[in-house]
Amino acid sequence: MFKLSSPHFIYRSALIALANTALLSVASSASAAPFKNLAADQDAQLSVGVNALYSNSAYDLDDNEVRVLPGVFYDNNKIYARGASAGAYLINDGTNQLSAYAQLAGNSFDPDDANGALQGLDERKISAAAGITYLRRTPVGGFRIQAATDILDRSGGNTARLTYLARITKNKLTVYPSVGFEYHDDKYNEYYYGVSDEESAKTGVAAYKSNSSLNPYINVSANYDFNECFAGFFNQSLSYLPNEQYDSPMVDSRTDSTTTLGLLYKF
């Protein structure tokens, strides 16, 4: 008798298939005509600044989090740094970009900021992820596939992203809208949204075990050049929580959003 596949198995299989398709496309192009990687840009500009992040978390918290972090932006066609992400290009011919990267990843849950019995739960910490990303530039925008794993072993989980990106430029203003889906495996969700039997017995919060999930999200970034030295940076991200995360007793919202404002100095 045939059985229907579980939704999270279908999601993961689809993302793996898309990733394989993209990498096979790169391989096919390489066999037909070797990649001519861009030369290092000796005039690449380094921008350093400070970012203020306001997080409207989906967690049931008393106060939303505000953080101030340094920001670095640099890309010389060989290596790059973009905010909390940095990487090195394995392939970069101007149309295809395949790179290895590392970045801050995950959520943070501080019991001291939580409401009610949630204050007795364990802390969930932000982590770092490393992985591979492939971007294909086309006349209608960019298509990017990413796969990463938790290298600090906070959750021990894996994530994947499928994104469409665009670029809109008007004088000194450049806007980068993007939309896509992010896959979180069960280990990731269990760490950030699960409640163990031990925590439940200690606090009275219902135990909860999460499965893998697929989160739709949108993101808008903007950069405005005030002059040759200073630029302003804005980013707004919004992620929708599916039932695998929303049903957690730690959560009281369907959305998780972060607003970032920054000021950059260009060397």
pLDDT at 6: 45
CA dihedral 148, 132, 105, 199 (to 10 degrees): 10
Could you report the per-residue pLDDT of 111-134, keeping only the tens digit for each?
A: 999 999 999 999 999 999 999 999
Report how far residue 84's alpha carbon sits from residue 107's, in angstroms, rounded to the nearest whole number: 14
pLDDT at 13: 52
pLDDT at 66: 84
Q: Which residues of 19-48 are buried (b: 16+ CB within 10 A; e: fewer)?
A: beebeeebeebeeeeebebeeeeeeeeebe
pLDDT at 34: 58
Output 128 or 66, whichever has higher pLDDT.
128
What is each CA distance from 251 to 15, 19, 56, 160, in whole angstroms? 26, 31, 12, 22
Output 252 or 64, whichever has higher pLDDT.
252
Q: What angle do CA 19, 25, 28 make, to 5 degrees?
A: 140
Q: How confident is the model at residue 63 (pLDDT cuts 50, 70, 90)?
A: confident
pLDDT at 181: 97
User: What is the mean predicted confidence (pLDDT) over 67-91?
Assistant: 92
pLDDT at 35: 64
The strand pairing partners of 48, in sequence order, are 72, 265
User: What is the mean predicted confidence (pLDDT) over 244-262?
Assistant: 95
Could you report the per-residue pLDDT of 209-250, keeping only the tens digit for each?
A: 999 999 999 999 999 999 999 999 999 999 999 999 999 999
Report how far residue 199's alpha carbon sits from residue 190's, in angstroms, rounded to the nearest whole number: 13
pLDDT at 32: 44
pLDDT at 38: 87
pLDDT at 15: 47
DSSP track, 5-74: PPHHHHHHHHHHHHHHHHHHHHHHHHHHS---PPPP-TTPPPEEEEEEEEEE-SB-BSS-EEEEEEEEEE
Report how far residue 90's alpha carbon sits from residue 105's, in angstroms, rounded to the nearest whole number: 22
- 44 phi and psi angles, rounded to 5 deg: -55, 135
Amino acid identity at 185? D
Question: Residue 141 pLDDT more than 50?
Answer: yes
Could you report the per-residue pLDDT of 166-212, keeping only the tens digit for each?
A: 999 999 999 999 999 999 999 999 999 999 999 999 999 999 999 99
Question: Where is 162: in which H helix or E strand?
Answer: strand 158-165
pLDDT at 24: 47
pLDDT at 37: 86
Question: Residue 145 pLDDT more than 80?
Answer: yes
Tokens coding 259: 């607003």
CA dihedral 95, 96, 99, 101 (to 10 degrees): 60
User: What is the mean predicted confidence (pLDDT) over 9-33?
Assistant: 46
Count Cα atoms within 13 angstroms, Cβ side, for 130.
6
Residues 49 and 265: beta-carbon distance below 8 Å: yes
5, with CB counted inside 10 A (0-12, 13-18, 19+), is exposed
Strand 213-225 to 230-240 pairing: antiparallel
